[in-house]
Homo-oligomer: A and B are copies of this chain.
């Protein structure tokens, strides 16, 4: 398979980004679920730790909707610490002294991997809505090419939360021989009607912004910042929980003793949400938000198997460890349970733990000692089965 590593200079991205970048699909374009073909295309990725001689200690981390490949280092745009720094690093649960850890920006993304903000070679302008609609299946198919490039036949483990968990399920279902262990976290085998509804609100907020320009804003030197901020605000509420919002903010006022009888951010929760919206638009592309939410909406492993989810995992040898969080109302425990039932029906090797937490969907990114403990136990056990050296 032909592939070409890029130096930062040749990257199409507006911001020069650190990290690896490889051009894939040089000999054959990526066939997308829509029937369209994409290629050649770039994948931007980060690695941590060292691949062992047997190439047996690789862990692929799949990121969520607005995540990216910068798992543990300072984010090149926001300067904030990596989104899973708490989980990944020397001596941590995903131990970089022990494992070779890979995380790639998904196709359709905006952090260096080919997506709607990159240049369309056919027009030499940013793709915008000319970019083909992609699916979670397409994201994973692109990742298999990255693994080919890296010379990794089988992953020791694929792990991810939310949309990352959808990719994990897709990996285990479509490429079971390339996955030893799979850890889908706070996810679902199909996106619910309520979740599609929330995504649609976000998309409509973006498309309602005149600066969106029918998706052509980059060519026109504009940016639908306000629409994207509103989309982020609505989504952000769904990542938290009522108890967490109550505990964190309640009805506390923002730097004032009394309400102002106006439309300023009187309440801390308003100020926090506005801040979340504003920060987000600095690092994310509005069209990417459309494409990636759409990919999640389209995800339906039930439908793909005639309504019988178990058929997605027939005869699987993958070891599964599935997590949900009690206060997660975006991907509630019932969604994980449906996956567990399907895996049980094919006598798969599966553990399932519902972690008690009031932190909502975002709990998978936060300090949850029980989650870490169970996860570390599973990974150690799986590593032993895989014949990796003891810690």
Q: Contact between B192 and A204 (Cβ–Cβ < 8 Å)?
A: no
Contact pick for A267, options B33, B36, B249, B297, CB 8 Å: B297
B contact residues around A190 at 8 Å (CB): 251
Cβ of A374 < 8 Å from any Cβ of B?
A: no
Cβ of A300 < 8 Å from any Cβ of B?
A: yes
B contact residues around A303 at 8 Å (CB): 251
Q: Contact between B269 and A200 (Cβ–Cβ < 8 Å)?
A: yes
Quick one: CB contact mask for A58-98 with B, threshold 8 Å, 1 for yes? 00000000000000000000000000000000000000000
Using known A-B contacts A230-B230, A251-B196, determine if residue A261 contacts B205 with beta carbons closer than 8 Å.
no
Q: Contact between B201 and A233 (Cβ–Cβ < 8 Å)?
A: yes
Cβ of A250 < 8 Å from any Cβ of B?
A: yes
In the bound complex, CA of A194 to CA of B272 (Å):
12
Q: Which chain B residue shows the least CB distance to A303?
A: B251
Q: Contact between B200 and A261 (Cβ–Cβ < 8 Å)?
A: no
In the bound complex, CA of A267 to CA of B203 (Å):
14
In the bound complex, CA of A250 to CA of B35 (Å):
25
User: Contact residues of A with B, CB < 8 Å?
Assistant: 33-36, 129, 132-133, 190-194, 196-198, 200-201, 203-205, 207-210, 226-227, 229-230, 233-234, 237, 240, 242, 245-246, 248-251, 259, 261-263, 265-267, 269-270, 273-274, 277, 290, 294, 297-298, 300, 303, 329, 332
In the bound complex, CA of A265 to CA of B263 (Å):
33
Q: Contact between A246 and B192 (Cβ–Cβ < 8 Å)?
A: yes
B contact residues around A210 at 8 Å (CB): 210
Q: Is the interface of A mostly helix, strand, loop or mixed?
A: helix
Using known A-B contacts A261-B133, A263-B294, determine if residue A270 contacts B200 with beta carbons closer than 8 Å.
yes
Q: Contact between B242 and A192 (Cβ–Cβ < 8 Å)?
A: yes
Chain B min CB distance to A213 (Å): 13
Contact pick for A196, options B193, B205, B240, B269, CB 8 Å: B269
Chain B min CB distance to A258 (Å): 10
Q: Contact between B193 and A208 (Cβ–Cβ < 8 Å)?
A: no
Chain B min CB distance to A138 (Å): 10
In the bound complex, CA of A242 to CA of B230 (Å):
22
B contact residues around A33 at 8 Å (CB): 261
In the bound complex, CA of A246 to CA of B249 (Å):
31
B contact residues around A297 at 8 Å (CB): 266-267
